[in-house]
A and B are shown apart, each in its own frame.
Chain A
Amino acid sequence: KAGVTQTPRYLIKTRGQQVTLSCSPISGHRSVSWYQQTPGQGLQFLFEYFSETQRNKGNFPGRFSGRQFSNSRSEMNVSTLELGDSALYLCASSSDATNEKLFFGSGTQLSVL
């Protein structure tokens, strides 16, 4: 069974641009969560989608948004990029409606110059 796939693996953008990251969960998993990981703050929760509905949202500004499609694939978008948005963005999926056991992708490393 294929794992969680995130694309692209690396991304370099400049301030003010916007970016879209993609996540394909494990086949059959309907819940997708997004986390931001930085050396200073660790893993911080962005949002979670279950069956195309946002179920939970973290404490990030409105520039961060996401969505989930009917095939459970998910995208997150960051508009008006800031230097502080440089981070590893991780997507995780779970097989049911609970978050107890998350399976993570390898992440997208975003650098904002």
Chain B
Amino acid sequence: QKEVEQDPGPLSVPEGAIVSLNCTYSNSAFQYFMWYRQYSRKGPELLMYTYSSGNKEDGRFTAQVDKSSKYISLFIRDSQPSDSATYLCAMTSSGNTPLVFGKGTRLSVIA
């Protein structure tokens, strides 16, 4: 079992839809959780950062962490064509250990 599992998609939604992206993990020591967005031929960029359990909201984006279920989610409201990208979850147990990434979910938002 891989440490971090993420459905690769692709996921195709109409403009304006609510998008739900998810990752599961097996290492209970993980306590820092991030979502990165990667456009084609670009490096990943940090979208959301959450410490431990709970929700965090930033504009149209909401990140949720459920440590009891080892499950994290990213919700995108009112999705736009510009949201079309690959979304990668990442996590680590401490600031001194490397991030472990999911393989990414490819999202297409159709106008």
Contact = CB atoms under 8 A, between A and B. Distances in A.
A56 B34 CA distance: 20
A105 interface: yes
A59 to B, nearest CB: 11
A99 B98 contact: yes
Interface stretch (A14-22, A42-50, A76-84): A42-50
B43 interface: yes
A103 B60 CA distance: 22
Interface in A34-66: 35, 41-43, 45, 48, 55-56, 58
Contacts of A58: 98
A107 to B, nearest CB: 5
B44 A104 contact: yes
Contact of A33 (B32, B45, B98): B98
Given A43-B88, A99-B96, A104 B101 contact: no
A113 interface: no
Contacts of A56: 96-98
Contact of B99 (A4, A45, A105): A45
Contact of A100 (B43, B88, B92): B92
A32 interface: no
Interface residues of A, number: 24
A1 interface: no
Contact of B98 (A41, A45, A97, A106): A45
B104 A100 contact: no
B43 A105 contact: yes
Interface string B85-99: 000100010111111
B46 interface: yes
Contact of A55 (B32, B42, B96, B104): B96
Contacts of B46: 101-103
Contact of A99 (B36, B41, B92, B104): B92
Contact of A42 (B92, B96, B97, B104): B104
Contact of B45 (A41, A98, A99, A104): A104
A87 interface: no
A26 interface: no
